[in-house]
Chains A and B, each alone.
Chain A
């Protein structure tokens, strides 16, 4: 029982740090509020869909960045989708980098796109690692009671 309480506390702290460090925003809380007994893994299911979408889009963008000349419309379209997905799960830092990439697409700045894409991938990779660790700990801790969900 004590061990479980300790785990629950760790989960809560880990969750809070994701918001405090700017990795997640309010949209993640919206997802949590949709989770209930009929769908107790809703948030993790949505985030898993995000990983799947992200892998596909990152591969497409990498391919598109390899071509010469760069097709900025295509790049922008892919990044628009990636930004949308990231936004849907509350991925704040990833979303910011996606916006920067799109700005470089708009101005036709290929070097800027290539440089910013590395940032996008870095932020995505960090977010994914942190979320995977969070959900793993949450699963160990088991379902929580009336824990506060404030950001």
Chain B
């Protein structure tokens, strides 16, 4: 079983116009059993420069995501894939909410997952987005996070 990985990006030296107003830290958990998707989403988040420090962790299924929280980790945004082995996104979301996790949990689904999407959303998602994610979609999540502070 792959262990969760962590990556920290220091966004200090970028040329953003709003660097003075930028949040200090953003922590994101990418939960997906597909290594390709994890790599792409991790890269998108790391390039965004929406915070002075961006910390990204990955997990390969819902159980790993749960274990991270049980060991004391917390995140601003959790990008949760729906279909995963061992523990899927719907169950993981239910468990996280039952544990009292209040992070923004964003479901990530393929376009043709209509039927299960409802159950996934009702499990406690803040939003559900279609794969593949883009920089604009993730930027907009951070903006929502800022608005709800």
Contact = CB atoms under 8 A, between A and B. Distances in A.
A29 to B, nearest CB: 11
A83 interface: yes
Classify the secondary structure of B's interface with A: helix
Q: Interface size for chain B: under 10, 10 to 19, 20 to 34, or 35 or more residues? A: 10 to 19
Given A84-B110, A87-B132, A102-B112, A49 B47 contact: no
B132 A46 contact: no
Interface in A52-95: 53, 77, 80-81, 83-85, 87-89
Contacts of A107: none
Classify the secondary structure of A's interface with B: helix
A78 to B, nearest CB: 12
Nearest to A83: B110
B44 A81 contact: no
Contact of A81 (B34, B40, B132, B134): B34
Interface string B105-121: 00000101000000000
Q: Interface size for chain A: under 10, 10 to 19, 20 to 34, or 35 or more residues? A: 20 to 34
A84 B47 contact: no
A88 B41 CA distance: 10
Most buried by A among B132, B134, B135: B132
Interface stretch (A15-23, A31-39, A119-127): A31-39
Given A34-B40, A46-B39, A49-B36, A87 B131 contact: yes
A39 B43 contact: yes
B131 A84 contact: yes
A30 B132 contact: yes
Interface in A98-151: 99, 102
A84 B131 CA distance: 8
Given A85-B36, A87-B132, 13 more contacts: A27-B132, A34-B40, A42-B43, A46-B39, A49-B36, A50-B36, A53-B35, A53-B36, A80-B83, A83-B110, A84-B131, A88-B37, A89-B36
16 contacts: A33-B135, A42-B43, A46-B39, A49-B36, A53-B34, A80-B112, A81-B34, A84-B34, A84-B37, A84-B110, A84-B131, A85-B34, A85-B36, A87-B131, A88-B37, A89-B36
